[in-house]
Amino acid sequence: MNFTESKILRLDEAISTVADWQRAGQKVVFTNGCFDIVHLGHIDYLEKARALGDRMVLGLNTDASVSRLKGPLRPVVNEYARARLMAALSFIDAVILFDEPTPSQLIEAVKPDILVKGDDYTVENIAGADFVLGRGGEVKTIALVKGYSTTALIEKIKQGYK
């Protein structure tokens, strides 16, 4: 197993690892998404999220989950490749794949201190927010970089290759 693969955890490994970090006094940030074609908007968002705590756990949608959310032609990049790419980022400490419609079950299992989403969400409609707040944690939104989205990038590529 290489370094990036070692950061891709099963749920039981993630639960244990996060608990160890928290016992050591570290604040654990959690965020989630598809991260299909990684772009500047993703990197900026993830860096800012990680800066809110000591460790960062990323919930990554499985291929089946991405297809249900984004349509049958997505993802462009398969889950193994997406997980390795995310794990390669120095500011991500753990990646966990999830297949459910929302990451609520994952959040309740991992018990992060800080839950983060982009500012296209409000705290009221962030999956898992009630759970994190109920445990005394924080829920934050981060301003997204305008003009960057995977969907827009795919459209630009399609237009260029007609």
Segment 10-63, tens digit of pLDDT: 999 999 999 999 999 999 999 999 999 899 999 999 999 999 999 999 999 999
pLDDT-derived band at 158 (thresholds 50, 70, 90) equals: confident
Could you give phi then psi for residue 147, rounded to 5 degrees?
Answer: 90, 5
Residue 148 binned pLDDT confidence (cut-offs 50, 70, 90) = confident
φ, ψ (nearest 5 deg) of residue 58: -115, 120
Question: Cα–Cα distance between 130 and 65 in angstroms, integer?
Answer: 23
Show the beta-strand stretches assigned E in 8-154.
28-33, 55-61, 94-98, 114-118, 138-142
Q: Quick one: pLDDT band at residue 153, thresholds 50, 70, 90?
A: confident
Cα separation, 28 vs 18, whole angstroms: 7
- In order of start, what are the domains of the chain with their CATH numbers? 3-160 (3.40.50.620)
Chain centroid to CA 153: how far?
Answer: 19
Contact 154, 37 (CB under 8 A): yes
As given in the structure block, the two tokens for residue 109 are 């299992």
pLDDT, tens digit, 9 for 90 and up, residues 99-138: 999 999 999 999 999 999 999 999 999 999 999 999 999 9
Average pLDDT over residues 83-100: 97
